[in-house]
Structure 1
């Protein structure tokens, strides 16, 4: 009995605290990888389809057992091979248009991954989803329960739910690409983080968002979305997506500064080492200094971005050689565009300057920042549905009086079937009764929604329909699309000395119910001469 107890105790120590042997086990149906880490990590890959079917970390099974973790909704079938060389194990999964890699490095509690594509999957979404044990990993970080739909009732499509009195959706877990280097799921004894070195071959730019986590009750999903149809403003890019990785820990939040340069030695399709890249450095100037500035580079093959320093200086990430469009933003509003050509092994010097140009302002509601910052319900819209009872009523401001009403009472969105038209009242002097321009900046349109304007007795023309993104927006926590700007030219005499009334209505050939009626999101409204 004493000997048996010692054996059991030894096995427990081996499972939870003793570094195991790094290695690859090949079975008829599976590959089993032992990472050889001090907190033991073993994972199993199905040789027929590339699914991860088991993730055993520190003695606990973290993989959801009914469905695997995989690219897209699973490859269905793939040619799966594995090699071990020195401190690295590489599993390669190949189809006609996609190659996915799992990599283990001896001693790391990490599953390194990369995905090479030559065409978008037929399902239209390129993502990796780890389906993890919700009993052990119920928590979602950093935004908490906003995307936990366990026990909820669907209220819009199959992706927005009512849980108790709160609306929740997997879309509410999103973060801007420029700020999203890590998102995690956790429990009392485990944490698993998806860590992203870059979105180089994804689509959408620095301010795009997509699904990060989703506790559905039976499992907790941990995602990396590379391409999707969710308010997508660019064509999909193909090539190597990643490296990206799942980092396993018992507590604490891992650094995002993890070296993946060893991928250069692993024969990974499409991988470009730092030595084969170049940089752009320079100074941005002229934009509103009260906002953060971003510089963005993109072409059909790649995209990059960086925040500037407070003085406007910047250095790009390491970029693939090529010619790029270069955009300078104040907040998320573009103020200048240029072009630059990057060559391997060199740093190109390129300054950029720009600002928002209007005229002599009569009034302005909001700021030209490419976001609905400061408007009614804007602080909540990213994490809840517009119908949520925690939102302020959308009809609470039928009339906005310039100089009296707070901008925080100006609705961030105008819905054809909810709060359209919106009335704005302002006072003009006799010197302001000449010709003027009313500029309405929007960030996102749904179902063709765009503004039609009346100023006193003058009616502006109906603007052309904006580009159709074919995607729900405001109800799924999105606010950024193509960012249309509408200029309404007002002839002299349209504005009168004294009190003036503007109405802004949502115009569209389509109709809909409440928050799925045609709508648009405001960026800024400015009247100037």
Structure 2
């Protein structure tokens, strides 16, 4: 093994007293002192991180290491200093994965990057830091992923506690577009994952994908960054370099900036790394989305994905790899335009985009077609708890147009659990004519799709939507392909005065909460 410029140090680590920045080779591993209070050790045979000391306190878990997935197994591990930075390279002997760990002087940060040439069995790619719950008891979003004292009741990942509240590591997730920094904390320190710049460019799922961020157990506090998984997977994996990303240590409660400069990776010979000089960008205006909704522009192809939020009608993309991209505009998370654009390295291309959503008059509308169920009943809770949680409101029921508000209409329906929802509405004699019923959904499970009946009319079954073979609604997720269903309802279905829409679920299932279901975005009767 060739090591360049390795400083061999004999160190006594004390709180507030640190040796000079550098790398030490031992018989079993590499020890890195950041000269910022963080000293970590990497095992030579596997690349596992076996020690994480910050201000002389050990934060590494006691039984399992910190690594990609649950460890890469036997690997070729090299350590060196390059241009003033410590670089450790881990090449798995059995998996298509190369992992990089990099340290920068006087920063309590481990910079990371993961290069893959194929999918990793069993379908997940994640950085998993196994830390000590005793030192870092508070997980991401507090206790939503804290399984201590609770019992599994759905699979091995969803738990119910004695007070009727529910816990699941999936409840700790946030949308990729918002999830730049997340962490766990204790009385002495906090540990953070940072995904700066274009860290997500080779992940899959788009800007609204969510995945696991932490899980709190009796011994280990698990801190994650999920690069790829099978959790509500809507597109194939991308291959290449994931990141750079980072794991940072701070004083308790001190949140680090997400604007982490990783441009120095261009000097480190990191496989798959593309510097800003080899990238281009897109700038332009986005129009047609009402001001009360967030506008998001999204670019993607088989090699990369990017996104940005529109501000004052304008946008500028992140620095993008060269190529031709599908370009999308969202009203909230509801797709309103699809276009394409070609990006050239070293250039900025101008490309405007405008909503193509039709402004159709309606008799009534429940909710907003924004790709999210948050304004509907229980929509404010579904990301952080199971539908059976005692804090949830009831499911199913009756809704009266003009009397009830959007928050009275349940954000999800099940073929077994919630029965049906009835929508009562009034029509004038002039309104007794043919109308279009439009129902938007965000996610389906086991073929769940809307069934609809008004008066003597029963809507035809639209057929099962594209299957996503993953639990979603019961694990805090609401985002799938986002199907929209429409039916032309004949005038004979309506009458002057009181009318009722009965909305149910087509599909089946073999368990109460795991029967066919779908999440409602919005519904309307068009004039």
Does structure 1 residue 82 correspond to structure 2 residue 79? yes
Tell whether 2:231 aligns with 1:230: yes
Q: Deviations over 1:171-198 (max 9, x none)?
A: 0100000000000111111111100013
Note the alpha carbon deviations across 1:388-418, whole angstroms, 9 max, x for none: 01111214xx221111122211000001111
Map 1:251-266; keep pairs closer than 5 Å.
251=252, 252-266=254-268
Would the aligned equivalents of 1:356 and 1:368 in 2 still touch at CA under 8 Å?
A: no
Cα-to-partner distance string for 1:187-228 (whole Å, 9 max, x where unaligned) = 111111100013111001001100001111210011000000
Task: Report the TM-score, using the length of structure 2 for normalisation.
Answer: 0.95
1:120 paired with 2:119, answer yes
Secondary structure in 1 matching 2:233: coil
Question: What is the CA distance between 1:492 and its match in structure 2?
Answer: 2.7
**Which of 280, 283, 287 is residue 281 of structure 1 equivalent to?**
283
For 2:278 and 2:326, locate their aligned partners in 1 and report how far apart those are by CA, in whole Å.
20
SS at match of 1:418: coil
Q: The residue matched to 2:274 in structure 1 has which SS? A: coil
Equivalent of residue 521 in structure 1, options 505, 519, 522? 519
The Cα offsets for residues 259-300 of structure 1, whole Å up to 9 and x where unpaired, read as 110000000010000011011000000112111110000000
Kept in 2, the 8 Å contact 1:449–1:506? The answer is yes
5 Å-filtered alignment, 1:255-404, equals 255-309=257-311, 311-357=312-358, 359-395=360-396, 398-404=397-403
Tell me by how many angstroms 1:355 deviates.
4.3
Shift of 1:86: 4.1
2:160 corresponding residue in structure 1: 162
Q: CA deviation at 1:12?
A: 12
Report the CA distance between 1:14 and its aligned residue. Answer: 5.3
> Which stretches of structure 1, 4 residues or more, deviate above 6 A after TM superposition?
none
Look up the match of 1:476: 475
Contact map agreement 2:445 2:471 (CA 8 A) in 1: yes
Q: What is the aligned-residue RMSD (CA, Å)?
A: 1.4
The structural deviation recorded for 1:151 is 1.9
**SS in structure 2 of the partner of residue 226 of structure 1:** strand
CA distance in 2: counterparts of 1:14 and 1:337, whole angstroms: 56
Unaligned 5+ segments in structure 1 are: 1-10
- The residue that corresponds to 2:21 in the other structure is 22
Kindly indicate whether the alpha-carbon contact (under 8 Å) linking 2:148 and 2:216 is maintained by their aligned counterparts in 1.
Answer: yes
Task: Give unmatched runs, 5+ long, in structure 2.
Answer: 1-9
Report the alpha carbon displacement of residue 358 of structure 1 after superposing the two structures with TM: 5.3
Q: TM-score, normalised by structure 1?
A: 0.95
Aligned-partner SS, 2:106: coil
1:85-105: CA deviations, max 9, x gaps?
Answer: 342111111135111000011
Do the aligned partners of 1:126 and 1:226 also contact (CA within 8 Å) in 2? yes
Considering fraction of residues, name the structure with more helix.
Answer: 1
Verify the 8 A CA contact 1:336 1:355 in the aligned structure 2: yes
Q: Is the 8 A contact 1:371 1:443 kept in 2?
A: yes
State the Cα distance separating 1:164 from its structure 2 match: 3.0
Matches within 5 A, 1:183-262: 183-197=182-196, 198-251=199-252, 252-262=254-264
Match of 2:7 in 1: none
Tell me if 1:505 matches 2:507: no
Shift of 1:523: 0.3
1:57 is matched with 54
Aligned-residue offset at 1:356: 2.6
* C-alpha deviation, 1:19, in angstroms: 3.4
Q: Any idea what SS the aligned residue of 1:243 has?
A: strand
Q: CA deviation at 1:514?
A: 1.9
- Number of residue pairs matched? 512
Deviation digits for residues 92-130 of structure 1, max 9, x if unmatched? 111351110000112111111000001111111000100
Cα distance in 2, alignment partners of residues 355 and 217 from structure 1: 51
